[in-house]
Amino acid sequence: MFDQFLYGTEAAINGLMTGVMYSLVALGFVLIFKSSGIFNYAQGVMALFGALTLVGIQDGQVPFASLINAVFGTNVRDFGWTLPAMLSILLAIGVMILFAWLVERYLLKHLVNQDPIILFMATIGLAYFMEGIGDLMWGAEIKTLDLGINQGINTTIDSLTYDWFGYGFYIDNLDITAAIIAILLVVALTLFSQYSSTGRALRAVADDHQAALSVGISLRKIWVIVWGISGFIALVAGVMWGSKSGVQFSLSLITLKALPVLMLGGFTSIPGAIIGGMIIGVGEKVFEFVVSSSWFGDAMGFTMNATENWFAYMLALVFLVFRPQGLFGDKIIERV
């Protein structure tokens, strides 16, 4: 029995790590939704695009290589150099900020007073557009992302737990790094929004656009900042997932996984995104572990497998029925 407990704990810890990654993705959504009321369908694609760009820069790829080849009949692929990880990251961040600026200038500015649904559709368009550009710029093969982050089983924990419990926990180094980075990011974000003047302006815009305008806050500038930060978060998320399973186009499906997180944690709450992510992450893994285990089979007469695919959504459904604003979101009150 005890070893079942141990396996379960291992599953839970792994779930926590995954959960942190989910949170990271959800965070990007929350930021944008909170400050402009837009649900950014393109968030997942931004993660993908960010990761693609990073790999491309690092490997010295020529952007739009296939297009250039098709038009000019050349056969270029790389510049022939590889850039160090740090530099590539900085350049990639620069690209995301440029992207944020472009989105604001050519998309948001023109749709300022429209219905939220129109803005949502615009982001759907943006998502497809970015996927296409990503493909065109960097090519659709699966790329490996190597930023020098440790991967593979963390031997310290393995041996420690083996000594203590007689069973070595398998926890991936990458997951640990990702979790730490995610936590640092969240803490930095929270401190920034609470204590700095720009952070205050961000909160102000999230609260009331009209009032923010009257105080002299430039909405457009704030939106660029918000999309920039979201882009940065997306980049980090893309990098983490990409390191784990390679940079491929299915990365953009993260968007789907973020939805249950948002429904649990509320669309407008940063702590909600974090806690929601962790609940989903742990919940998924533990649930799977329990319902596929032998004693569950003995007790119930059947086991279930691959429940990870649908558990999160079931949970989200339950929440939608009983608490639509999520654990931390603002209660939706229609004022007459």
Partner 1 sequence: MSESYVTPDGRTIGGKVLEMRNITLRFGGVVAIKDISFDIREGEIRAIIGPNGAGKSSMLNVINGFYHPQDGEIWFHGEKRKPMKPYQIAKQGIARTFQNIALFKGMSTLDNIMTGRFNQMKTNMALQMIWKGPAEREEQENREIVEKVIDFLEIQAIRKTPVGALPYGLQKRVELGRALAAQPRLLLLDEPMAGMNVEEKEDMSRFILDVNDEFGTTIALIEHDMGVVMDISDRVVVMDYGKKIGDGSPDEVRNNQAVIDAYLGVDHG
Residue type, 215: V
**Of the two residues 194 and 245, which places its CB atom closer to partner 1 in the complex?**
194
Q: Show the DSSP H helices in the chain as ranges.
A: 2-36, 43-59, 65-72, 85-103, 116-138, 155-165, 173-195, 197-207, 209-215, 219-245, 254-265, 270-291, 294-300, 311-322
Q: Is 204 in the site for partner 1 (CB under 8 A)?
A: yes
Decide if residue 213 touches partner 1 (CB under 8 A). yes
In the bound complex, what is the minimum distance in angstroms from residue 43's beta carbon to partner 1?
22
Q: Is 294 in the site for partner 1 (CB under 8 A)?
A: no
Q: What is the pattern of x (binds partner 1, CB under 8 A) and - over residues 214-243?
A: xxxxxx-----x------------------
Q: At what angle do helices 219-245 and 85-103 cross, to 10 degrees?
A: 140
Using CB under 8 A, pick the residue from 82, 144, 196, 245 that binds partner 1.
196
Binding test (CB under 8 A) with partner 1, winner from 2, 106, 195, 302: 195
> Total residues at the site for partner 1 (CB under 8 A)?
24
In the complex, what is the shortest distance from the CB of residue 198 to partner 1, in angstroms, rounded to a whole number? Answer: 5
Interface with partner 1 (CB under 8 A), residue from 7, 165, 167, 192? 192
Is residue 207 a contact residue for partner 1 (CB under 8 A)? yes
Q: Residue 198 or 250: which CB sits closer to partner 1? A: 198
Structure tokens belonging to residue 29? 């959504």
The DSSP secondary-structure symbol of 103 reads H
DSSP three-state, residue 42: coil
Tell me: does residue 211 bind partner 1 (CB under 8 A): yes
| Least distance to partner 1, CB of residue 205, Å | 9
143 backbone dihedrals φ, ψ, rounded to 5°? -115, 150
| Closer CB to partner 1, 30 or 55, in the complex | 30
Burial 257-283 (b: 16+ CB within 10 A, else e): bbbbbbbbbbbbbbebbbbbbbbbbbb
**How far apart, in whole angstroms, are the C-alpha atoms of residue 63 and residue 78?**
9
Q: Which residues have a Cβ under 8 Å from the Cβ of 307 and sit 6 or more positions away? A: 284, 287, 288, 291, 292
CB 288 within 8 A of CB 296: no
User: Of the ranges 40-48, 131-139, 205-213, 315-323, which one interacts with partner 1 (CB under 8 A)?
Assistant: 205-213
Minimum CB separation of residue 197 from partner 1 in Å reads 4
Distances, alpha carbon 150 to alpha carbons 85, 98, 131, 175, 236, in Å: 14, 30, 29, 9, 16
Q: Does 101 help bind partner 1 (rule: CB under 8 A)?
A: no
Q: Determine if 90 is a binding residue for partner 1 (CB under 8 A).
A: no
Taking CB under 8 A as the criterion, the residue among 82, 114, 198, 250 binding partner 1 is: 198
Residues that bind partner 1 (CB under 8 A): 188, 192, 195-201, 203-204, 207-208, 210-219, 225
